[in-house]
Structure 1
Amino acid sequence: MKNDFVKRCLSLVFCAAFLFVSGCGDSSGKSIYLYSVETDEDEKPAGDIYAPYKPLREEVMAIIPEETVTLKVYNELNKKRGVQEGWFGQIVKDLFNVELEFVNTNDGDYYQSAKAGRCDWDFVLLKSHDRLKDCIDRGLVRNLEEDGLFSKYGTNIGSTMKVAIYASKRETDGKLYGIPDEVAYKDGEYAEFQYHPDIRWDLYRRFNLEDPEEMDDYINILSVIKDRAGVSDSGKEIYGATLYSGQEDVLNSSVSDAVKAFFGYEDFYVGFFNPRYRTFSGALDDDSEYIQCLEFYNKMYRAGLINPRSKEMSYKMVYDSYADGQNLFCVNSELGYDAYNTIEHLADEKMMAPLTFKNQVNLVRGLKTVGEDQVWCIGKDTEYPELCMAILDWMASPDGALTSYYGPKGVCWDYDVDGNTVLLNPGFEALYHPNYQFDMSSGFLGSYSDGAPYFGFNIWSRDTAISESNGQKYNVLTWINMKSNQLNYKIENEWLEEHEVENEAEYLGQSNFYVLAPDAYVMHELPEELTSSYTKLSYILKEGSWNAIYAESEEEFNEVIKDMQTSALKAGYKEVVDWCRIEAYYKVQSNIYSYLID
């Protein structure tokens, strides 16, 4: 599912024993309940307590400017420029009487400001801690603890992100210059499953096919479906899968994704990192997981199941082909599950859904209480340090973070009487239709996508727990009215009932999966003597992988693999792999924690 969001159009209506919310212009015909049927009338709060945001603290109210202030944002993570528009811009203005102007960002602007010894930006959003250290050295960012700034206006961050703040100070000279992004609220959390085998479940069920026992069983299943399925939405031929490979990737992207989905290993330079044993293995080692997945896709190709134009296609073209229903199978949910499962397809009882085999091992990423590498900072020379700190602190609050992710409170999401976070109809619509237009009665104008925050990254991880919640996460798929199937279409509920689970994560959790331990490892540049070898290996792996996938026979496939291995050895494969093993050791040493869930 996608997380894009919507409008302030909803009507609150008390009915008998419960209150329901319906979105203006809602095409799904679904109602979302803020109260359970069992809620007594006298337990319900009086009046409309939902739409308004919580009042800001007195200390913050005291610094709100009387006239609207424009705060300039230097942002290295997003290319959107200009004044923040739409619903998010309106909310920030209503709360803080501030406009956010995202200024041009390039190295020329950066070094010009650095050379002048002055920072003309109020917010400074940096791509890495290395960039932060450079900003500190050049005097561009503020010590957030100076003059009691953080202790007075950063109370949300200070009380909920203690590990991240401690780690951020350790990265510098012991002072706090920035707030990390994508922070986990507590140890042991991990992200949602992204890499797993998905299939057109409506067709799989219609043809009454058997569950797969091993990887190759998918080939027989997909062959049967392809022969009977017809054509895509646009009338094009249907394939088992369309593959892709990123230009900057050393390995074939689709093959690497298969290794993650089937074996639970993470791609790492010219090979893979095993999260269970914390070891590295080269992609071209004999009978490697990479070669096994190449062979799997080659068998699919020889069965007529791989789109023959895959090599020529960009990621967007591949994504569009999945959205059009041209493919039956995928191991990356961003392509299969997310692209295909639109409101239109689900309403028509068509759906991509996970289908696991007996011995597969999925890879999921552990979340970091120290956060990721990007950093939120405040410019050294801003005239409004208190206001900037208060805005960052609000964005780290549950209300602020949920708004950044899902749109206006009381329109796209809200809390029920028991304090559970619930999705409202407009928010549900925006999951599938980013251009969903706000109704005028909502108090907002334009579409969700036009008004979404320009920042490009968030303070809290989407998969972490919401502080002061009932154990819920920021991930909308875990919310009570999503899990209770109120918003599900018939085919979704049928899939859940057949597998006797509440959601996709519970189903995938029944298989083995490795959690990639969060670490502080930063990819290093290769030693100069290995740079040429690495460049050659990159070409050998990219071209050789496509040649292996497109081999017309088993004999040709084996010959391609042999040629790849021979060419790689001549190019310095062994030396690069040895270096990768050393880097894997550093990666392990930087682990925050490591575990396997069986």
Structure 2
Amino acid sequence: MHAQKARKLAVWIRPVAVLSALSMSLTLGACGSGGGRKAEEADDGSPMTVEVFDQLANYQGRQKGWFAKLVKDKFNITLNIVAPNVAGGGNTLFDTRSAAGNLGDLVVIGSNDGQARKVVKAGLVADLTPYMKGATHLKAYQGAIDQLKGDVGRKDGIWGIPISVSDLSPTEPSEGVEPTFGPFVRWDYYKEVGYPRVSTLEDLLPVLKKMQDRARQDTGRSDVYALSLFKDWDDQAMQNGFQLPAFYGYAEGTGYVMSNADGSDAQSLISPDGVYVRALKFFNKAQRMGLVDPDSTTQNYDTMFSKYQQGKILFSFWPWLGQAAYNTETHRKEGKGFMMLSIDDMKIASKGAQPNGTSTFIGVGGKAKNKARLVRFIDWLYSPEGIQASGSQTNGAAGLKGLTWKVEGGRPVLTDFGVKALAGEKVNVPGEYGGGGYSDGASQLNVNTVLNKGTDPSTKVPYNYQMWDSELDKRTTALDRDWQAHMGGARTTMEYLAKSGKLAVIPGASYSTPKESSVISTTRGQVKTAVVNACWQAVFAKDDDGFDSVWSTMVKNVEGLGFQKVYQVDMDNTKSLFKARKAIEKQYADRK
């Protein structure tokens, strides 16, 4: 489930796009640091095990199953993934391998905090310029490649390809049928208590209380709760606290600064009157009303997810939590499941399409052999087939044509196998495609190279299968029909939000935070510990006075630790981010 976090929650600062054509220089002269431009020995096409240093991966070891067979058949490559997320230790693995002079043959790495500059300067990634001949699918991404040059402090060379690139406007929502965030509730219980109107966030609490009471009455269980929280994604603050501000256009962003979509407000995360503390007060009130799962302080995401699957939790911050866990076809036909309710004053934060890619890019290791073959593999990842085969099914990637989907009557449709596989059922892949379980054999790179809301040139419809008419036509279950009747006939959540003007689109700007000093980094670590602890203590305070006491004590404590210096760094970065957003909007407007 941590893969979902990487895809859905940690991509706010780095956007994407697709601009003009790539200059295909074949110069082979020497180039100094950064991997050089020396010609390599001819590739004889023999089998090759490729070590992938992948900061996004949540799996370590050899790629298995149908994706492994596909890559082997096309490139005679076996992927062996090295994942810091699995190995643990934060940046320890990066530092260790960097010191050894070899990150890997392929590198998936972020450019924030100066890492990109470091790997280029140290020659840990190669200049791809000599190997770009025939990389036809990368031609569209010159803008993204140029952006990366700036991030690494170079005026020449091709140092990698940013991921999540798009040819959509930076003010176009990047999501397909569901937003990243939203107030998703068990719609069947919302229906049972009479579809009460919710004017503000705080008005949601009595509605959740009625729903919880009704659910306990219907099921005879006392362990049904409106809300359930978890700790294992906490970083600079309690991660759950960032979700409710997103209902009002504020995204988790640059450190201890909360900023809104249009750039009109940037405020301290710890401000007693700020949007983040408002969220904590909401949780505290809910806790005092008996609406919060008492296991919240000790459970992890996976434990909490299982409770959603069992129908024990009634509210979800994200569609890919509640809906993914509970909205089975059987439940939907019975009219049960999570759907978004509408809060009168909400404006859901929505990530804009990112013309120049996110902060993460794919590069080739400086010491890798057969670099031209590796570039051909990267190019394929950006092809229609590669986008669908390597992308996340959670994000709408349809998988392998012929296995999970096909074209029928001139439009793409899922195969019977694909319907089951993409719904998460345990199905075995036919031997001709590699055998094994479908999910086990899916790409473990955890990389979406191109925003899948974009149009597949081979089908003339979005890559995202959830947006295909053949899939939208299936939204006729009892749950879908009842929700649609209360949402003006909208077929999807994004359609409703767009029509009702309840989206706050954050322009898709590409921005990398610069490397901060060791003093700021050390201070940030101390502040983080104090803030996270205070968040949880405040949420579980017994009354308003207890909440205020916990928070004021923490604020005084972190001020003494040097919070203002950290906050100033974050505010400077936020201002730079706002400038980047304005710049990409202007760039796209001028392009049109």
The two structures have a TM-score, normalised by structure 1, of 0.78
Q: Which runs of 5+ in 2 are unaligned?
A: 5-41, 85-92, 392-397, 587-592
Distance 1:527 1:134 in 2: 15
* 1:571-582 correspondence to structure 2 within 5 Å: 571-582=561-572
State the secondary structure of the residue aligned to 1:196: coil
Correspondence 1:385 to 2:371? yes
What amino acid maps onto 2:127 in structure 1? N
Match of 1:125 in 2: 108
Deviation, structure 1 residue 140: 4.5
1:360-409 residue CA offsets vs partner (Å, 9 max, x unmatched): 12111123221122222234555533432322222211122112233221
User: For the Cα contact (< 8 Å) 2:54–2:445, is it kept in 1?
Assistant: no
1:143 to 97, 112, 127: 127
The 1-side partners of 2:568 and 2:116 are apart by 32
Which amino acid in structure 2 is aligned with residue 580 of structure 1?
A: D
| Residue ranges of structure 1 left out of the alignment (5+ in a row) | 5-63
Structure 1 residue aligned with 2:165: 183
Correspondence list, 1:285-434, <5 A: 285-380=271-366, 382-405=368-391, 406-418=398-410, 420-433=411-424
Please show how residues 88-127 of structure 1 align to structure 2 within 5 Å: 88-102=67-81, 106-107=93-94, 110-111=97-98, 114=101, 122-127=105-110
Shift of 1:571: 4.3
Q: CA deviation at 1:87?
A: 0.8
The residue type equivalent to 2:473 in the other structure is S
CA distance in 1, matches of 2:163, 2:505: 20
Q: Which amino acid aligns with 2:111?
A: S
**Alpha-carbon distance in structure 1 between the residues aligned to 2:364 and 2:274:** 48
CA distance in 1 between partners of 2:214 and 2:422 (Å): 31
How far apart are 1:154 and its partner, in Å? Answer: 0.3
In the aligned structure 1, how far is the partner of 2:534 from the partner of 2:388?
45
Could you tell me which residue of structure 2 aligns to residue 502 of structure 1?
491
Deviation string 1:262-301 (CA, Å, 9 cap, x unpaired) is 4434343223112223442112324211222222222211
Q: Deviations over 1:328-380 (max 9, x none)?
A: 11223333233332345334432011012110121111232211222222345
The alpha-carbon distance between structure 1 residues 411 and 134, as it changes in their structure 2 partners (threshold 3 A), is same
State the AA in 2 paired with 1:214.
T
Q: 1:153 to 1:253 in 2, by over 3 A?
A: same
CA contact (8 A) 2:390 2:447 kept: no
CA distance 1:215–1:437, shift in 2 (3 Å): same
Quote the residue 1:272 is aligned against.
258
Q: Could you say which residue in structure 1 is the equivalent of 2:504?
A: 514
Partner of 1:76: 54
Distance of aligned partners of 1:213 and 1:438 in 2 relative to their CA distance in 1, 3 Å threshold: same
Distance 1:377 1:353, change over 3 A: same
In structure 2, what residue type is equivalent to 1:128?
Answer: S
Instruction: Give 3-state SS (helix, strand or coil) of 2:443's partner.
Output: coil
Q: Distance in 1 between matches of 2:371 and 2:280?
A: 54
The answer on 1:220 being equivalent to 2:198 is no
Change (3 A) 1:198 1:580: same
Amino acid at match of 1:89: A
After superposition, the C-alpha distances for 1:143-186 in whole angstroms (9 at most, x for unaligned) are 3221xx31x3201111x223223323444341113222121123
Higher mean Cα deviation, 212-221 or 66-75?
Answer: 66-75
Q: TM-score, normalised by structure 2?
A: 0.79
Q: Is contact 1:263-1:289 (8 Å) kept?
A: no
1:46 aligned partner:
none
**Taking structure 1 as reference, are residues 421 and 167 closer, same or farther at Cα in structure 2, changes over 3 Å only?**
farther
Per-residue Cα deviation, 1:72-125 (whole angstroms, up to 9, x for no partner)? 1332333644443211122223334443344688447734752xxxx6965343
In structure 1, give the amino acid aligned to 2:47: V
Q: Report how far residue 485 of structure 1 moved.
A: 2.2
Counterparts of 1:162 and 1:247, CA distance in 2: 34
Of 131, 138, 142, 1:157 maps to 138
Instruction: Pick closer, same or farther for the CA change 1:177–1:558 going to 2, 3 Å.
Output: closer
Per the TM alignment, residue 525 of structure 1 is displaced from its structure 2 partner at its CA by: 5.4
CA RMSD of superposed structures (Å): 3.4
Distance in 2 of aligned mates of 1:324 and 1:238: 10
User: For 2:227 and 2:585, how far apart are their aligned partners in 1?
Assistant: 34
**1:589 Cα deviation from its structure 2 partner:** 2.6
Aligned mates of 1:3, 1:348 — CA distance in 2: 30
Contact 1:71 1:99 in 2 (8 A): yes
After the TM superposition, which of the residue ranges 173-182 and 460-469 deviates more from structure 2?
Answer: 460-469
Contact 2:43–2:370, Cα closer than 8 Å, also in 1: no
Cα deviation digits, residues 468-498 of structure 1 (max 9, x gap): 653x333222122122226x54322432344
Matched residue of 1:557: which SS? helix
CA distance in 2 between counterparts of 1:525 and 1:388 reads 29
Identity %, equivalent residues: 22
Per-residue CA deviation, residues 169-224 of structure 1 (Å, 9 max, x unaligned), is 44434111322212112333332211110110011113323221222221121111
SS at match of 1:459: coil
Contact 2:251/2:258 (8 A) holds in 1: yes
| Change beyond 3 A, Cα 1:212–1:562 | same
CA distance 1:380–1:538, change in 2 (3 Å) = closer
Say which SS state the counterpart of residue 353 (structure 1) adopts. Answer: strand
Equivalent-residue separation in structure 2 for 1:79 and 1:228 (angstroms): 39
475-484 or 104-113, which moves further after superposition? 104-113
How many residues are matched? 524
* Secondary structure class of the residue paired with 2:406: strand
The aligned amino acid for 1:428 is V
- For residue 589 of structure 1, the aligned residue among 572, 579, 582 is 579
For residues 124 and 253 of structure 1, do their structure 2 counterparts lie closer, same or farther at Cα, with a shift above 3 Å needed? Answer: closer
Q: Which whole-Å CA distance do the structure 1 matches of 2:238 and 2:49 have between them?
A: 43
Distance in 1 (alpha carbons) for counterparts of 2:542 and 2:234: 27
Whole-angstrom CA distance in 1 between matches of 2:2 and 2:82: 28
Residues 327 and 265 (structure 1), Cα distance of their counterparts in 2 relative to 1, 3 Å cut: same
Secondary structure of the equivalent of 2:213? helix
Distance 1:90 1:539, change over 3 A: closer
* Structure 1 residue 564: Cα displacement: 4.0
Is the alpha carbon distance of 1:391 and 1:556 closer, same or farther for their aligned partners in structure 2, counting shifts above 3 Å? closer
Taking a change above 3 Å as real, the CA distance of residues 307 and 232 of structure 1, as seen in their structure-2 partners, is: farther
Task: Assess, with a 3 A threshold, how the Cα gap between structure 1 residues 164 and 388 changes in structure 2: closer, same or farther.
Answer: same
Q: Determine the C-alpha separation between the residues in 2 that align with 1:239 and 1:217.
A: 17
Change (3 A) 1:217 1:139: closer
Kindly report which structure 2 residues correspond to 1:196-215, keeping only aligned pairs within 5 A, or say none.
Answer: 196-215=182-201
Return the index of the structure with the highest Cα Rg.
1
Contact kept? 1:413, 1:424, Cα under 8 Å: yes
Which amino acid is 1:126 matched to?
I
How far, CA to CA, are the matches of 2:252 and 2:107 in structure 1?
Answer: 32
Distance 1:81 1:573, change over 3 A: closer
- The separation in 2 between residues aligned to 1:329 and 1:566, in whole angstroms, is 34
Contact (CA 8 Å) 1:360, 1:511: kept in 2 or not? no
Conserved? CA contact 1:378–1:388, under 8 Å: yes
2:435 matched to 1:456?
Answer: no
Conserved? CA contact 2:98–2:124, under 8 Å: no
The one-letter code sitting in structure 2 at the alignment partner of 1:181 is I
